[in-house]
Amino acid sequence: MAEVANWIWRTNLRPFVEVLAWLCHYELADGEWDAILAGVEQSDSDAAPPRWYNYEFQGKHKVTFSVGWDQGTEVIQVRMKLPNAIAAKVETALHLMNQYTFGKTA
């Protein structure tokens, strides 16, 4: 197992979740996106203590991820535990999601 962490632009949250699901061979069920979005909006990575939203995809690859919004900014912190087999791909996706904007703000 690998641990991967980085940040993404808030506007890229949905594209990132969709890419992560695709890499895990996990199909998002109806309503899952809404649950993830609601959890992120209540998170605060800078709070004392920090409030992170935790979620898990169990597809071909199991991925546990935690996200925390830097309240007052457009930054979402992301931490994950995932198989080594997809770690480099996920790191690349995270890097792209903090360098460019792909989605609309939720």
Confidence of residue 30 (pLDDT cuts 50, 70, 90): confident
Instruction: Give the 3-state secondary structure of residue 41.
Output: helix
- The answer to whether 72 and 85 have CB atoms below 8 angstroms apart is no
Which of 87, 11, 76 has the alpha carbon at shortest distance from 43?
A: 76
Per-residue pLDDT, averaged over 13-34, amounts to 94
pLDDT tens sequence across 71-89: 999 999 999 999 999 999 9
**100 φ, ψ to 5°?**
-135, 165
pLDDT tens sequence across 43-58: 999 999 999 999 999 9
Task: Confirm whether pTM is higher than 0.75.
Answer: yes
- The answer to whether 65 and 20 have CB atoms below 8 angstroms apart is yes
